[in-house]
Every structure is written in structure tokens, then in C-alpha cells.
Amino acid sequence: MAVRAGQKAGLVFFESWVDPIAEEILGGRDDVDLRKLSYSTVEADNWDVMSRAHGYQVQARTELREPWFPDAALIARCPNLLAASSTGAGYDYIDVEACTAAGILVCNQGGTNTEAVAEHALGLILSLSKRIGIADKLLRRHGAQIDRYALQGNDIRGKTVGIVGLGAIGGRLAELCHGLFGMTVLAYDPYLDGAEIVRRHGTSASLVELLQRSDFVSVHCPRSKETLGMFGEAQFAAMKPSAYFINTARGGIHDEPALETALRERRIAGAGIDVFLKEPPPPDHPLLSFDNVIATPHTAGITQEALEQMSSSAADQWIELFNGRAPPRVVNPQAWPAFSRRFASMFGFEPEPLPYA
């Protein structure tokens, strides 16, 4: 049992998990009080449940509604909250600083959608290089009048891909590009040394060198103060006119007006975009007007396999946490001492030390 006899750890979520397996795993436990909330419920009633909850499984940014973002205002109204967990790998919609200050752990599901997103990025690379997206649009528009030789594409074998952020997803994309197509992989990741980048099938490069040499630039870093607006006018200007820009990471890492300008002025050959500042983007979003842009509505990580893995991993992580064991994917380990004290005061025993603090 995770708690004192007769006591349950309260865990709340809104509407649904991305896969029902999480509710199956947690719903049958006698030490977890799993509560499903609805945005349509009277707000005061939701606050009553939230104020007593120990854990909050947070919907993804696209579906999450105000005032249920885990920020300082929510924390002030939830004195029992011990941890908040994101749906997927991203957690930029959770105020990590506010949580840390309050002794609240932030967890994510990093690594659970690695294959899905890496394959999606590779799919965008192939579709852009082979001009599949443009061909599909023109064929539907012009039918028999189409000139197929005007749609000549390129093979990606032997080309250079520049990967910004060589974590789990970027590393898997590097493995696919290098192993399947013999591509040269340049990587920019200030948190990895050259030897580790080589181990992950890449060659370390500065961001400028990567932009200047790459035929494809693929973004795989989290959105943070450091990366917000990382790709703007200067970065697109540094790319080759024949190069393509791909972002399956987070909206806001690239400046959308700057990308629009680069495409309109033909400074780059095209783009594959899965993420936007506002999601889903409106139908009249400027980037959607370009035939050489392949756009998807933040679906890179949404595969049957990934959603099941994200949900089951999140459920297992909550069980570990409520049993006083270190969750495997803590974003803010510096909050562990304060979290441990609060946990002990609520559940009557101290959690194990965090092995990777």
C-alpha cells in the first residue's frame, strides 16, 4: 500500500487519457482515488476536487483549458498537490518554476513517443524531398494537365541532415537517416559532448555550420526560454536555398512570420511543420497557403502504439510515486527534498531518495 490504511492518494485528470489503458491500470487499485473531471462541470465543483488532489495528470496543451494550467494560481488553490505529470514528453505548459518553489514534482513521459515522432520527421523529409505533398495538391487541382517532369524530386541517400537536439527522438532520427539512407548527420546539442554525439550516429557542429551545410534541418529540442524563437530570419537566411526546414518539436521554436518570409522569398525550398504557436492553426494560417509546406496538426506523436505507451507509462509512474519510489521521469529533481517532506506529512512515511538528483 502507498498510504496509511484506509487512506487513498487522490489523482485527477480532465476528460480522458490519450489511451484508456491508464484508467484500467489505476482504476482497479485500492490505494488510488482516480477522479475524472470535465470542463463542462461547474468550476467550483472542479476546484473542490482539485483542492484535495495529490496528483494531477495534465492534458496536452492543445486540449487543456483555462484555468486548469498548472501555474502559480492553480497551485495556490491546491495545497495537497504533490506532483503534476504531462501527457507526453513536452511540459512547457506546466510552470516548472512555480511547482519547484512549492515542492511539487513535475514528471513527463519522455521517451514514450520516440519512435512515432522520429518516423514522422523522416516521413516529412521523404515527402518534401520526393515532392509528394506538392504532387498530391497539383494532381487534385489540375488532373491530366499536370506536368510530371516539373515535379522532379531528389533522393535523400547521401544527403546531409542537421538535427537540432540529439535526445531520444533526435537520436532515433539520426539512427534512421544514417542507417537506412547513408546520410551525413550533423548535430547541434550543447548538452552533449562530441563523443556522445558520435555514439548517437552524428557529428557535432555549431548551429551556424549545421544550417549552412544541411539539406534538411530537423528540430528536436524542448521549448524553453533558451529555444523560444531560436529559428528566425537570420537562421533561415543561413540555410541553403535547396534546404528544407522540419519542426516536430514545439511551436514557438521557429518564428512563424520569419518562416513565411523565407518561403515566399524562396530562401529555402520548403518546410514540414507539425507544431504551431496556436494549435490547431486556423485554416487561413499563412503557412498553410504554400504548396511546398507539408503541415500536420501536432500529430507526430499520435500513433496507436505511442498513445498506449504514454498512458501506461504515466500510470506506472503514478504508482511508483504514490508508493514512495522515485519516478523515472522527473523534470525538476531539485524539488525532491521539499516534495519528500510534504509527502511524509501527508502519507506518514518518507519516499526513497532520488537516485539521479
Catalytic residues: 250, 279, 298
DSSP string, 119-163: HHHHHHHHHHHTTHHHHHHHHHHHGGG--GGGG-----TT-EEEE
The DSSP 8-state label assigned to residue 335 in this structure reads G
Evaluate whether 86 touches 109 at the Cβ level (below 8 Å).
yes
| Residue 273 DSSP SS3 | strand
Whose cell is 511547482? That residue is 99
Whole-angstrom distance, CA of residue 272 vs CA of residue 298: 11
The DSSP 8-state label assigned to residue 299 in this structure reads -
342 φ, ψ (degrees, to nearest 5): -70, -40
User: Quick one: which H or E segment has residue 106?
Assistant: strand 105-107
**244 beta partners:** 216, 270
- The sign of the torsion formed by the CA atoms of 259, 263, 266, 268 equals positive
